[in-house]
Amino acid sequence: MSRPVRFNIHPTESKIAESISMTEAPEGYSGEGFFSARLSDVVGLARKNSLWPLPFATSCCGIEFMATMASHYDLGRFGAERVGFSPRQCDLLMVMGTISKKMGPVVRQVYLQMAEPRWVIAMGACASSGGIFDTYSVLQGIDQVIPVDVYIPGCPPRPEAVLDGFMKIQDLVGQESIRRRNSEQYKALMNSYGIE
């Protein structure tokens, strides 16, 4: 007996307004025909809701990230629909998986090719600390070669954890001063990694 097939012959019209999510307007002063707010808030709002991730996936965490990108978990809801594979255009480097010592310079090169402002997520135990691979060939955490903003624990982390880490990045991005890269603290951090 063949499998019964049901057709959706009475589809309900989808309401576009219901499927669009709006963000809160930044704090500011509004009057008739004008609205004033801090520039960094507006820029932060724009940045945090349109992050372009660069997936640097080397192992099983990358598979978990694919699930996060796919329709069920849908990272696109957070404005990160556009996954780029060019470091020049992306602003969020997501390092997912074991990074061997030989791969270290490659991660660093990709990071250096990204334009400011740029953020980094280390996803999973291996990218964060080397994980179970306490051995001669594996980098014990990518923070030995590049600065990391958010670490996502797990081996591998579930998509919910990836989304949580992504929202942490969004908080950072939204609250950051637009002059972050000019600050002494930031320069000192970059210098500690030998980056100009």
Partner 1 sequence: MALTQEHIQLRLSEKFGDLVSNFHSPYGMLSFEAVKDQNLKVLQFLYDEADLNFQFLTDITAVNYPDQPGRELAVVYHLHNLKDNVRIRLTVYTDILSPDIFTASKLFSSANWMERETYDFFGINFVGHDNLKRILNVDEMDYFPLRKEYPLEDQTRIDKDDQMFGRG
Residues lying near partner 1 in the complex (CB under 8 A):
101-102, 129-130, 132, 134, 136-137
Nearer of residues 58 and 129 to partner 1, judged by Cβ: 129
Maximum CA pair distance of the chain? 73
* Whole-number Å distance between alpha carbons of 187 and 112: 14
Nearer of residues 134 and 196 to partner 1, judged by Cβ: 134
Query: Rounded to the nearest whole angstrom, what is the least distance from the CB of residue 55 to partner 1 in the complex?
Result: 24
Integer Rg of the chain from CA: 20
Query: Rounded to the nearest whole angstrom, what is the least distance from the CB of residue 134 to partner 1 in the complex?
Result: 5
Instruction: Give the residue carrying structure tokens 């990045």.
Output: 169
Nearer of residues 134 and 184 to partner 1, judged by Cβ: 134
- Cα–Cα distances in angstroms (integers) from residue 120 to residues 56, 85, 131, in the given order: 11, 15, 18
Continuous segment of H or E residues that includes residue 124 = helix 124-129
Query: Rounded to the nearest whole angstrom, what is the least distance from the CB of residue 52 to partner 1 in the complex?
Result: 31
Nearer of residues 129 and 170 to partner 1, judged by Cβ: 129
The length of the chain is: 196
Query: Rounded to the nearest whole angstrom, what is the least distance from the CB of residue 108 to partner 1 in the complex?
Result: 13
